[in-house]
Structures are given as structure tokens and as C-alpha cells.
A and B are shown apart, each in its own frame.
Chain A
Amino acid sequence: KAGVTQTPRYLIKTRGQQVTLSCSPISGHRSVSWYQQTPGQGLQFLFEYFSETQRNKGNFPGRFSGRQFSNSRSEMNVSTLELGDSALYLCASSLGLSTDEQYFGPGTRLTVT
């Protein structure tokens, strides 16, 4: 079974621009969660989607948004990029419950200059 895939793997953007990251979950998984990982803050939860509905949202500004499609694929968008948004963005998929095992993709490394 194919694992979680994320595209692109690396991205360099300029302050003020916007960016869209994509995540394809493991086949049959209906829940997708997004995390931001930085050296200072560690792994922080962004949001979780289940059956196209946002089920949970972390403590991030409204510039961070996401969505899930009917095939469970998910995208997250960050508008008006700031230098502090530079991070590794990880996507994880699970069968359905937040307490299920979450399987992570390789991440998208975003650098904002």
C-alpha cells in the first residue's frame, strides 16, 4: 500500500506571497492532519480534516487554511507569508479517529525569504 505523499517536497517563497501544499493520504484513510515543525516550537498541530469537514483546528492565525476533497486528498494554504512560516510541514493520515495511528508523509520544507 502506498504511503502518504506530499508535494512539493521543497519550496522557497518570498515574504507576502502565498503557498499551497498538497497531501495524498493512504488509500482508505479518511482523516488528514497537518502539523508545523520548527526547531523552536517543535511539532504543532495545525488542523485536521475528516470526510471533507474540519474537525479540529490548532492555534494558528487565519492566514493558515486548509481543505479536504471527496477523495480524502488535502491541501493547506498559507497566505501573506512571513519569515516565521519557514518550517517543515507534515501531513498525516489515519483511518478516522484522532486516536488512531497516524502515518506521516515526508513533509514539505518551506523556506520564506
Chain B
Amino acid sequence: AQKVTQAQTEISVVEKEDVTLDCVYETRDTTYYLFWYKQPPSGELVFLIRRNSFDEQNEISGRYSWNFQKSTSSFNFTITASQVVDSAVYFCALSEEGNTPLVFGKGTRLSVIA
């Protein structure tokens, strides 16, 4: 069965620090998709990235970057030069091929202090 673990429940950083959010997943499938979502205080989940299991290239989007390592079943998310607006709960999620539902981790609450 698929499972996503976000071991960090809460992280607090000072503005402009870099921060990495960890995500470890379990799946028996060879084809799967990994996602990150951001949930600001307003409650709506905001899609950040989708990555398939065959693409291990790291991805960078502005201050955000993602490191996918199949060898350790991890899909970590780094925010560079964090800002107060980055304060939110971040969820990692996994979907296996075959139209199985999205499975979410418990989330990591990030607080960026000015």
C-alpha cells in the first residue's frame, strides 16, 4: 500500500533562511507520481509540483526547488531565502498509476518569522 511520511510536524525559521521539508514515500509500483501542495491559512490547497517516477531531475522554480531520489524514496522540498508569505502547511502526496487516489502525508507546518 502507498504511504507518505512527513516526519517534520512543525518548522520555524527566520526570514531569509533556507529551509528543507522532508518527504519519504512507500509504494510497490514502478510508475507513480509525487506532488507537493501548499495550504496557507485561508485553507485552499495550492498545487506546487508534480513529478513522475521516471524523472529524477531536480526541479527549480524561483525560490523553490525539489530533490527527488528514488534510491532513498524521498522527494524533498527546499525554499531558499524564505519569506513570511511562505508560512503555511505543506503537504507531500503520492499517486500510483491505475487511477488510485492521491495519498497525502500529515503535512509540515512552516512558520517564517520576520
Chain A residues at the B interface, C-beta cutoff of 8 Å = 33, 42-43, 45, 48, 55-56, 58, 88, 90, 92, 97-107, 109
Contacts and interface: CB of A to CB of B under 8 A. Distances in A.
Interface string B35-49: 101000011111100
Given A92-B45, A102-B47, A104-B45, A56 B99 contact: yes
A55 B45 contact: no
Contacts of A97: 99
Interface string B91-114: 100011101111111110000000
B104 A107 contact: no
11 contacts: A43-B107, A56-B99, A98-B100, A98-B101, A98-B102, A99-B97, A102-B35, A102-B47, A103-B47, A105-B44, A107-B44
Contacts of A109: 43
Closest 4 CB pairs of A and B: A104-B45, A43-B104, A45-B101, A98-B99
Contact of A45 (B33, B46, B102, B105): B102
A42 B101 contact: no
Contact of B101 (A48, A90, A101): A48
B70 interface: no
B99 A55 contact: yes
Contacts of B99: 48, 55-56, 97-99
B50 interface: yes
A78 B12 CA distance: 37
A30 to B, nearest CB: 12
A90 B91 CA distance: 14
Interface in B26-73: 32-33, 35, 37, 42-47, 50, 52
Contact of B102 (A33, A55, A103, A106): A33
A25 to B, nearest CB: 14
A88 B105 CA distance: 17
